Amino acid sequence: MEQEALSADSTAESNSGPAADPRALSSTPDLDLARRHRYGDSSAFEEVYRQYVQMVFNLCLRMVGRREEAEDLAQEVFLRIHRHLGRFNGRSALKTWIYRVTINHCRSKLSRKRWFMRSIKEEDEEGGVQLEDRARSPEDRTLANDDARTVMRALLQVKPRFREALVLRDLEGMSYDEIADVLRIRIGTVRSRIARGRERLRQVLEKELTT
């Protein structure tokens, strides 16, 4: 069953055209990591972990909004990666595959617990460890943090399917092709989800900022 689902990462290939080239370029080192993991080289997983831990944690955080849950989710995601890395077949880039695993795991958790219905508590947000931005003054950073909190609260009010697309586009900086590949949807659907997500976010932010 797992193998069947793993091979399903090829289904997105029809969604993306020539822009899928980077996958081919990155497939050799990615496959090499998978091969090393398969043959018991523990440093392969460590490399994957080091390379993607920040991406996975932040993606989880953007999806569920709470630091503790994001940490739990990230743990589970890496456990899955550890289990399945050996069977990674290189049809997508490893990064795309990891994004997909993370998003799918978040979806599964969201549908189970409906975390998205909860609002973020202040202490949860304080618990996050912000990367230091030395280019800004402390005052600017405080303002930026307040803004970021407001935006995060608003983002959690956007439906997960639109939120995913927004996070991948506007926070992760992915192209529509890449998003289509991760979410295994058509480009037209990516476009529509991003537009609807932005519109919803605009409405929520408008409300948040006027109250």
Partner 1 sequence: MSKPASSPEARQELLSAYLDGELRPDEEKGVEDLLEQEPAAREQLEGMRRVVGHLRHVERMAPPQTLDMAVARRVALEGEHRSLLDRIEDGMGGMSRAKQGNLFFLFALVVALAVIILLFSQGLQRSQDSLIPVVFEDPSKLEDADLTTALQVVVGGALFRRHEGQHRGVLWVEDGLEVDAEAELVLLGSERAEELLTRYPELKGIAMLGHVKVEVAGRILELVDDSSLGLASP
User: Does the protein bind partner 1 through residue 128 (CB under 8 A)?
Assistant: yes
In whole angstroms, give the CA distance from residue 48 to residue 30.
9
Q: How far apart are CA 91 and CA 7, in angstroms?
A: 8
Q: Which residues of 152-170 are buried (b: 16+ CB within 10 A; e: fewer)?
A: ebbbbbbebebbbbbbbbe
Q: For partner 1, which residue of 35, 86, 124, 205 counts as binding (CB under 8 A)?
A: 205
Q: How far is the CB of 35 from partner 1 (least distance, A)?
A: 18
Q: What is the dihedral of CA 17, 19, 24, 30, to 10 degrees?
A: -120
Smallest distance from partner 1 to CB 51, Å: 12
Residue type, position 115, single letter: W
User: Looking at 20-28, 31-39, 190-198, which segment touches partner 1 (CB under 8 A)?
Assistant: 190-198
The only residue of 39, 122, 123, 131 in contact with partner 1, by rule CB under 8 A: 131
Least CB distance to partner 1 at residue 31 (A)? 18
Does 151 participate in binding partner 1 (rule CB under 8 A)?
yes
Write each residue from 163 to 182 as x if it is in contact with partner 1 (CB under 8 A), else as -, in one continuous string: -x-x--xxx---xx------
Residue from 17, 28, 114, 207 in contact with partner 1 (CB under 8 A): 114
Smallest gap, in angstroms, from Cβ of residue 195 to partner 1?
Answer: 4
What's at 84, amino acid-wise?
H
Q: Which residue has 């506007």 as its token pair?
A: 170
Q: SS3 for 56-71, per residue?
A: HHHHHHHHHCCHHHHH
Structure tokens at 199: 């519109």
Is residue 22 near partner 1 by the rule CB under 8 A?
no
* The only residue of 17, 32, 49, 51 in contact with partner 1, by rule CB under 8 A: 49
- 62/1 Cα distance (integer angstroms): 30
Interface with partner 1, residue 137, by CB under 8 A:
no
Binding span for partner 1 by CB under 8 A among 5-13, 20-28, 29-37:
5-13
Quick check: 91 binds partner 1 (CB under 8 A)? no
